[in-house]
Structure 1
Amino acid sequence: MATVDKLRNGLIDKILTIQNKEVLEALDKLASSSVPESQTVQLSEEQKKMLEMSEEDIKNGRLISQDEMHKRNLEWLNAM
């Protein structure tokens, strides 16, 4: 995956130097045509299990507020 990131970053660097509007429009058209309209994400079995567990937590009322989660996170970080 590092090679994909390296390639993407290299392309971004090159695009940032282009001043020709027609070239940029052509690149935009090319990039837009290569992105699928809807992309299906494949979940691993572990991810599916975590989502199922989350649904069960919601159904059974095992929830806390965002503020409470933030408070717990701060307590945890301060304990380190």
Structure 2
Amino acid sequence: MAISNKDYLIALNNLIENSSVENDIAELSAEQILMLKMSDNDIKNGDVIDQQDLDKEDLKWLKVL
């Protein structure tokens, strides 16, 4: 599949050429850092749930509401 509309391609090219990439670094709060460390520990300890089981638990929870 190809795009043959020349005006569209030129406009797209102009957007790409004129866009700027910012490499801003997000500052995390102490609480966010703590949550990330807790998540790392959960993964290391195997305290995880796969997506399919999580979906089932969500459906059970939603039925209670």
TM-score if structure 1 supplies the norm length?
0.56
Hey, what does 2:39 align to over in structure 1? 54
RMSD: 1.7
Question: Gaps spanning 5+ residues in structure 1: where?
Answer: 1-20
- Residue of structure 2 equivalent to 1:69: 54
List per-residue Cα deviations over 1:24-78 (Å, max 9, x = no partner). x4xx31xx13x41x22111111111110000000111111111011111111111
SS in 2 for 1:52: helix
Give the aligned length.
Answer: 52
Q: Displaced runs of 4+ in structure 1, greater than 6 A?
A: none
| SS, match of residue 55 in structure 1 | helix
Unaligned runs of 5+ in 2: 1-9
Identity %: 42
Amino acid across the alignment from 1:45: A
